[in-house]
Structure 1
């Protein structure tokens, strides 16, 4: 009993709290991302995601636990891909590109919402311990969401950006990309783990976060200007 008490006393509770908050933020970002894919595909005529129970905010329907663990441990991971049947689209390549864009777009909107909520917390509860923890969580979610959105816009298969690039490619190149997609996936993972995307991605994240912070704070600035 004494050993257990000593272990509890020496645990780094702040590190554990940060890890749990990071895990929760990752689950929310991935869930919103995949749900956006499913909703976009459904609106464009493909009910596959709905049939497979993917039009839900329940993280258990979207999270791949190995992918989540690697995302937390190594910075590169994945969720369960939303099933899409191109045959249900009226314009397969264009609609697939729109479906792919929905994921990163939802991440940028989620980051904007998190930053807006963070501004509220900072103004009204920033001095409390609970407020500080909530603010930290919201900031983590904003950073992770922007990172996820930007990473998926890289035009390499099977990332979402490649589906947008496919619309611009000649049919012959498009089919060639599809044939080697699994090998390109391995290349993307290896490049990501090697840090090849780190510098450019970090710069892009900083720029996007600055823009989103200004947009999130704009309504509060207006209220303060006119009413205070």
Structure 2
């Protein structure tokens, strides 16, 4: 029960139900405040107290933790209650009915369905059955929380990176190997582009040399004519 409740961040009582837990919440809140006080005192080491006094405080804290540890963070009465054994938790059911709190309960063949808002026929004695009920309730709570966030406009996948870590590790060497291949491709393209340019420059250089030779020959002919 405790594991399933913690998994879906809900409150629980897996020990004897204290009379007035719901109907006398103010008194229960005082006991929860005492539990928090003892937790802080023992965590700080209990300076100035003898060993016997610390032992008594630890026993008091353990007793309160056993009864109220699952609801010490609950700020008020719950909106709904899930009960496994209606016969054993008859007082809890009476308090919930008095406060008009909806009740989901597992009803065995010896259970009374009166006052149960959402009865669920099932075995409330077998450990595996109880584990199944708790897991189903926890999953339903998580689904409800997710649906509520989605309805309020919260994008549940916005902060999630769709790329798995294994995929990132596998793609890193591929990217590293692809870089040299890309560089060689660029170099080949540059060489291919340079060859036509060189081919175009060669005729231009030859034309300039021919023009210079023709000009020199004309100058020589004119010089000979002048000498004659």
Say which structure is richer in strand: 2
TM-score by length of 1: 0.27
Asked which structure has the greater RCO (Cα within 8 Å, sep 6+), the reply is: 1
* Structure with larger Rg: 2
Say which structure is richer in helix: 1
